[in-house]
Amino acid sequence: MVPNSIPMLNFKPSRSRKTTSVLINHDIFKLFAKWIDNKNNDYTQQNIPYKFNLLLRGTRDGFDPDMFHQLCDEKGATISIARIKDSKQIVGGYNPLSWNSNGSYMNTSESFLFYITDVGNLSSAKIGRVFRYHQNAIYGDSGYGPTFGNGHDLYAQNKSWSASNGNAYTNINIPSSFTIDEYEVFQVAKKSL
């Protein structure tokens, strides 16, 4: 170091877009945006129309339903993502409405479930859209974390998650009972033009 000199810092901007998720990369966020808009064409980093704002991370905030509702209720559209313990498998669902904890079902035809058997391989991704019982597509209850479907097609209780495939959502063969080691919930916000 030279005394009385001002150091020159030549930092180059990162070439890759960082996401705040510890579970998925930006390509999966682009896939979610495509599914949300029910489009066939892929989004690029430049034209993805949504911001995904992290509301909850299980290992940071806790896995209990109370914390889920404290951090995620009344936040608008969200996507919940969970990793099945000791695997590369990701499961979750999109709720276009706001979560609540009042023990009631919510009506939508725009929600979906997903199952990605290998998070590093987008071709392993499956989507299950609501195909019946739209009036019971989403369930908000203080005793559960994110819950989808009238027969609890996918629901969370702490680190124990369960699926009963094919009630309100098309069957995508999510395992019927599993333990997760991480989950995240993101608010899905439309970018301003």
Residue 44 token pair: 């690029």
Distinct helix (H) and strand (E) counts, the chain: 3, 11
Q: What is the pLDDT of residue 14?
A: 40
Q: How do the domains of the chain map onto residue ranges?
A: 26-190
Q: What is the pLDDT of residue 78?
A: 98
Band of pLDDT at residue 6, cut at 50, 70 and 90:
low
Write the DSSP assignment of 41-110 as a string of letters.
SPP-TTT--EEEEEEEEHHHH-SSHHHHHHHHBTS-SEEEEEEETTSS-EEEEEESS-B--EEEEE--SS
Predicted model pTM: 0.88
Q: What is the pLDDT of residue 4?
A: 57
Determine which helix (DSSP H) or strand (DSSP E) holds 139, and give its type and residue range: strand 138-141
- Find tokens 């629901």 and name the residue: 155
Q: What is the pLDDT of residue 100?
A: 97
Band of pLDDT at residue 12, cut at 50, 70 and 90:
very low
Contacts of 83 (CB under 8 A, 6+ apart): 23, 89, 90, 119, 180, 181, 182, 183
Are 56 and 22 within 8 A, CB to CB?
no
Q: What is the pLDDT of residue 19?
A: 52
Segment 13-54, tens digit of pLDDT = 444 444 589 999 999 999 999 999 999 889 988 899 999 999
pLDDT at 77 over 60: yes
